[in-house]
Amino acid sequence: MNILLLSVLSGLLSAFAYKTSALKLLSPTFLSSGMFCGFSIIYILSFNFIGQDIKTKTVIYILSSLFLTYVGELIANRFTEKKSLLNNSSSISIATTEYRRFYVPSFKVTCIITAVMLIVAIIRFVNLRYFASQYGSFNDFMSMMSTARIAVNQGEDFNLSSGIIAQIVYLSTGVCFFYTYIFLEQIILLKSKKYYLLLPIIFDCLIEFSTTGRTSIIMIVIGFIVSYFHILVTHNKGYKLRLSKKLYIYIFLFLVVFFIYGGLRKGNNASEVIDEIVGSIVSYSCAGIYGLDYYLEHPWSPNSYFAAYTGRNIYSLLGIEHNYIPDANLPFYFFGDGGGSNIYTSLVLPIQDYGIGGLFITRVILAIISTWILNVYLRKDTSKRSIYIYNLLAIFIVNGYINTPIADRFYTFFLNPMLLIRYVVYLLGFVWLMTRVRIYLKK
């Protein structure tokens, strides 16, 4: 079975990257190879549901892209210090601790921020209810979410907010990651459990929940993991990013909730819920591997212009218009006995836009840039405001590599300059505002 070969070789590459990379758990090769290995195992376990093996060509393309990711990681590390980042002594000082406290928002300020986010969440859910009512009837919250999601997947125009409300939605993402870092830093470094700092995070989850998707919730969880690792590495001498039982448990519990929610959203009884959970596990994991195999055997029509899929935001920024714009919802394919998905891994869009050679080149370039940013992030002085920007970028990068077997998340952020600038500027503005508010309250 070629899928078995993929699981073994990607697993070995992931273990090799974990042993040899200074980034350990944050290594792009470890993350992407490990995810392909895990999803390949799910593919094997659900083989009867999918119905067929993948081609040798598919295995070669996947393994080549993973190997070239490792090559890019090696090149980036050549430009960093030879000494492992994670063995450096960077213990926190009293002065730094006091300076960091300067950035902790008070309970009153946090309540004001939370109130604004609550208003935005309510507006979005009211609009979501209206949107769902245009495309079907529903009796409860879950059926409303299901109806809206079906309409979105069918390509219906989905816009829950505009104007200043839309800008606050972008800002809330940065606010969420800011509070995540502050909350964990308070617990780890100062042993202070300020649970009110979780309020903006919870209400950002509500805002993201209104999109009917679950990928944004995954990124919030990744934000906790990345921030947690960074705080430990930069403030604990000799700490190494390593696998632990707690990490396994937390990830497992999140996945259980993630897939149960998907089942409840679509199923009407226990049997349907179980069937939907099984189908969701396959559709959101190993189906992407089959999707890549299917695409290589049944390629889409050639693009009418260069980088039609991944470069659309660049064209929009430059004011370049085309007669044809590809649908953001990729074509559905079917497998087994009625199963279906539109997930194709992160390799399909680069292949479609740049060809196989272009895919391999982009894997190296992407790994070089990502590894460099992660290296800077891990040695960044935490007393600087820019740490929150690097934290945001690191979360986007880790999210991209974790999603490698599912979809291309990189072009969504890094090939969308206006979106990336908006996140960065709004977050910097928010951090600056927090410092001004703190100074004002002290007067």
Residue-level pLDDT, tens digit, the chain, 443 residues: 899 999 999 999 999 999 988 888 899 999 999 999 999 999 998 888 888 999 999 999 999 999 999 999 999 988 875 544 444 444 333 334 444 444 688 899 999 999 999 999 999 999 999 888 888 878 878 788 878 877 877 767 777 878 899 999 999 999 999 999 999 988 888 888 899 999 999 999 999 888 877 778 889 999 999 998 888 887 765 455 565 666 667 677 766 676 666 655 555 555 666 666 777 778 778 899 999 999 999 999 999 999 999 999 999 888 898 888 888 788 988 887 777 888 899 999 999 999 999 999 999 999 999 999 999 998 877 777 889 999 999 999 999 999 999 999 898 888 899 999 999 999 999 988 887 766 444 44
Q: Which residue has the tokens 């921030």?
A: 227
Q: Which residue has the tokens 């090799």?
A: 16
pLDDT tens figures, 149-177: 778 777 677 778 788 999 999 999 999 99
Cα 275–281–284 angle (5° rounding)?
Answer: 130
Token couple for 69: 């990711």
| Helix, strand, coil shares, percent, the chain, to 5 | 70, 0, 30
Bridge partners (DSSP) of residue 340 are 334
Token couple for 2: 């070629």
The count of other CB atoms within 10 Å of the CB of residue 79 is 10
The whole-model pTM stands at 0.87
Distance CA 61, CA 356 (A): 8
Token couple for 76: 């980036």
DSSP 241: -
3-state secondary structure of 334: strand
Query: Torsions phi, psi of 42, nearest 5?
Result: -65, -40
User: How many angstroms separate the most distant Cα atoms in the chain?
Assistant: 70
Residues, the chain, total?
A: 443
Task: Evaluate the CA torsion angle 66, 69, 73, 75 in order and state its sign.
Answer: positive
Residues 241 and 25: beta-carbon distance below 8 Å: yes
Residues 70 and 13: beta-carbon distance below 8 Å: yes
pLDDT tens figures, 293-330: 999 999 999 999 999 999 999 998 888 988 888 887 88
Q: Would you call 292 exposed, middle or buried from its count of C-beta atoms within 10 A (0-12, 13-18, 19+)?
A: buried
Helix axes 94-101, 163-190, angle to 10 degrees: 150
Cα 392–227–406 angle (5° rounding)?
Answer: 65
Helix axes 270-283, 245-266, angle to 10 degrees: 120
